[in-house]
């Protein structure tokens, strides 16, 4: 049975939304790559005799996710520095 992302891509292609289909393909590939990297990390840790629960990797991953989320958030407009305008700035040459 096709995955949810595959169905979404097919629907986007047939609805002639090729740009959205490409975005969905990129998202799917990114998610698959992330899953593979996580699996390889587990395999490597086990091969080296580590249990990721004992290494603090979960905490590091959680902090990395939080930092990424914080960076992606925009500042509220009331916290952005405001430029002060004077009457001279608003005058037009006649």
The structural domains of the chain, with segments of one domain joined by +, span: 4-72
C-alpha torsion 52→56→60→65, nearest 10:
60
Angle, CA 24 vertex, CA 23 and CA 30 arms, to 5°: 90
Q: How confident is the model at residue 36 (pLDDT cuts 50, 70, 90)?
A: very high
Look up the pTM and report it.
0.48
- Tell me the C-alpha distance between 60 and 16, whole Å: 42
The answer to whether residue 85 scores a pLDDT higher than 70 is no
């Amino acid at each position: 049975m096709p995955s949810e992302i595959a169905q979404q891509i097919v629907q986007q292609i047939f609805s002639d939304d090729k740009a959205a289909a490409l975005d969905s393909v990129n998202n799917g590939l990114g998610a698959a790559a992330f899953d593979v990297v996580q699996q390889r990390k587990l395999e490597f840790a086990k091969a080296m005799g580590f249990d990721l629960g004992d290494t603090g990797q979960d905490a590091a991953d959680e902090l990395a996710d939080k930092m990424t989320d914080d960076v992606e958030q925009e500042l509220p407009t009331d916290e952005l520095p405001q430029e002060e305008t004077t009457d001279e700035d608003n005058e037009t040459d006649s």
